[in-house]
Structure 1
C-alpha cells in the first residue's frame, strides 16, 4: 500500500484481507479504532471509531497534504500549531493543511465517529490526471485547488458547519456495500475533489472560533467540577464567580467545547448517572433522585421518563430482568 499517513511503529495494527489497515489505540481513557484505506496513489480514507478522551499520538506532519475531516457523531477538538483550539461536531466539515495546522486531537464527549480523507498533492495530482487522461476528461490541478482554499493569511483553516452541501457524500461512504467499497471510494473522492474545486477560501462559509489553552482548561475544569458535584445546583453566575470567567464567555466557550449548553449537559449527565444507579444499586428512588441533583422525586421521575420513555421504577425492573437472563 502506498501509505502517506501512518501512526508510530508502537501502535498495534492489523492488516486486513482487503489490504486495509486497522489501528488500535488504547490508553487509560478508553479505546479507539482507525481503519485506513488506500484509494488512489496519494489519497487515503480513514474511518474513526473513538471511545476515549484523548489520543496519545500526535499527527505526523506531512508536507503538501490536505486533511478533510467529517464528523458523523460525537465531537473532536483539534489543537493547531499556534496553540489555538477549534471544535467540530456532528455534520461539520473541516479542512486543514496537515503540515502546518492540526497537531493533535482529543474527544471532549469521550467518543467520536468520523471520516478523514488525506490528499497528498504531488502524488494525487499525478494519479488523478492519469485517470482523467484515460477518460478523456480535463486536467485536475490540485495545486490550484489548494491555493484557492487558502485564506488571507495563506492558511487552510476551513470549517463548514452542518455541511449539507457535501454530507451526502460521507453518508454514502458510511453505508456503501462492502463488495462495492473500492468503487465507492473512487467515485466519492472524485466528487469531493469537484466540490473543493468550487471553494474559495477567502469566501468564508463559517468564521472559525478559536480558543486558547487557558480558556479550554477553564471550561474543562468547570465540567469536572459540575460532574463531581452533580447533586448540587450552580447558576451561571456562581460558576462565573468561582472560575473567574465572564458569564458570556462561559456560556459560549462551554457550548463550543461540548456542543451543548451547561444546563443540557448537566441534565443529560444526571439522567445517565440515575440510569446507572438504578441498574447497579438497590438505592431507593428518592436517594437516587437526590444523588442526581433533584430535590423533588416527582420532577426526577418526570424528567427520567422524558429521557428514557420509562418511569425509574419500570426502568430498574426491566434492567434486573435482563440481567437475570
Structure 2
C-alpha cells in the first residue's frame, strides 16, 4: 500500500520502512493507518497517527503469542512506550531477554526493534509515541518556544548503549497516557499533539538514573525452561505441581526458577496458574455451553463451591453473575 497522507511525511516514511510480510495488511482508518497482523496464535493491530511533523502516535493491541516486526529506523529516533496491560518479551543484544509489564514506561531508540516479539501472557495493550529527532525538532521549538526540550539531547540522555530505559512509577506520565486511551477519534490528533509535547516537557525534568537501565534480563536457556514449566502447568489443570517439582522437571534451582518465572510471566507460578484457570473459566462462561460445575471441573476444581470462591476472588463476580453480565 502506498501511503498518501496530507503532508504526513513521517507516516509515509513509516510505511516505506515497514517490512510487510504475507500475514500483514495495511489500511487507512480515518486520519490514521492501521496495520493488522495475523498468525496461527491470534491477531494484532497497530493504529498510527502522525500528530505533528515527525511525531507518531501508535495504539498497540495484540491478542497473540508472538509476531515478527521488520521495522527499523535509520534516523535518530526516540520511542516512548506505555504498557497498559499484558507483557512484552524482547530479545536483546547478547542473547538475553527483557520484559515490559503493565504500568511500565520504556524509552529506547528502537535500534534493536526489528525481530520477533513474544507476548508471554498472549495479550498486550499499550501506546507508543515516537519522535523522529530531525523531523520533529522545528515543530517542538515552534510550539514551546524557549521552554522547548532538545529532543536529540533527551535521546542521548536516556538511550545509552542500545538498552531500554524503564520507568516503573512515573505518575505524571501515566496521566499523559491515560487521556489518550479514552479520547474521542474526532479530536485524537490535536489532543495527542498536546500530550506529546507535555510528555517531552516531563522527560526534560528527569535526571538520568542508571538503575533504570538495570532491567532484569534472562538468558535464552532460562526463558525456554520456564516456558516449558508453564506448558506442563496448563497442559492438565487437574494436576497440581509444587514449585520445587516444576523447577526440578526443567533442571533449574528453585530460587532461580521462581525469579525467572515471575520475570517472564509477571506472576509467581501459583498466582499465574490461578489467573490462567480463571481466564479460561471466563472464556467458557462466555460461550454459555457448559454448566458452572462442569467449567469448574475443566479448570481443575472438583468442588463447585471452591471454584465459585476462587473465581470471585480473581474476577470480582461469581461465575453465575459473570455469565449473566455477558
1:67 equivalent in structure 2: 79
Deviation at 1:159, TM superposition (A): 0.4
2:3 equivalent in structure 1: none
- In the alignment, is the contact (CA less than 8 A) between 2:46 and 2:59 conserved in 1? yes
Question: 1:192 and 2:202 equivalent?
Answer: no
- In the alignment, is the contact (CA less than 8 A) between 1:63 and 1:99 conserved in 2? no
Determine helix, strand or coil for the equivalent of 1:269: helix
2:4 equivalent in structure 1: none
Deviant stretches of 4+, over 6 Å: none
C-alpha separation in 2, matches of 1:228 and 1:182: 45
CA separation of 1:218 and 1:127: change in aligned 2, threshold 3 A: same
Among 27, 30, 44, the alignment partner of 2:39 is 27
Deviation at 1:169, TM superposition (A): 0.2
Alignment of 1:83-232 (within 5 A): 83-100=95-112, 103-132=115-144, 136-138=145-147, 140-151=149-160, 154-205=161-212, 207-232=214-239
- In the alignment, is the contact (CA less than 8 A) between 1:156 and 1:201 conserved in 2? no
Scaled by the length of structure 1, what TM-score is found?
0.85
CA separation of 1:104 and 1:61: change in aligned 2, threshold 3 A: farther
2:253 equivalent in structure 1: 246
Deviation at 1:242, TM superposition (A): 0.6
State the structure with more CA Rg. Answer: 1
- In the alignment, is the contact (CA less than 8 A) between 2:107 and 2:159 conserved in 1? no
1:78 equivalent in structure 2: 90
Deviation at 1:237, TM superposition (A): 0.7
Deviates more, 1:57-66 or 1:208-217: 57-66
Q: How far does the alpha carbon of each residue in 1:225-254 deviate from its partner, in whole angstroms, 9 at most, with x for none?
A: 111021100001101111111111211111
Deviates more, 1:263-272 or 1:95-104: 95-104
Determine helix, strand or coil for the equivalent of 1:110: coil
CA RMSD of aligned residues (A): 2.7
- In the alignment, is the contact (CA less than 8 A) between 1:160 and 1:206 conserved in 2? no
2:63 equivalent in structure 1: 51
Question: 1:42 and 2:40 equivalent?
Answer: no
Deviation at 1:123, TM superposition (A): 1.7
CA separation of 1:227 and 1:87: change in aligned 2, threshold 3 A: same
1:266 equivalent in structure 2: 273
1:13 equivalent in structure 2: 26
Q: How far does the alpha carbon of each residue in 1:185-216 deviate from its partner, in whole angstroms, 9 at most, with x for none?
A: 22111111112222333443473101121111
Q: How far does the alpha carbon of each residue in 1:89-118 deviate from its partner, in whole angstroms, 9 at most, with x for none?
A: 211111111124674422111111100111
- In the alignment, is the contact (CA less than 8 A) between 2:88 and 2:119 conserved in 1? yes
Deviation at 1:139, TM superposition (A): 5.3
Scaled by the length of structure 2, what TM-score is found?
0.84
- In the alignment, is the contact (CA less than 8 A) between 1:43 and 1:124 conserved in 2? yes
Determine helix, strand or coil for the equivalent of 1:204: helix
Give the total of aligned pairs. 312
Deviation at 1:22, TM superposition (A): 0.8
C-alpha separation in 2, matches of 1:26 and 1:272: 22
C-alpha separation in 2, matches of 1:103 and 1:9: 13
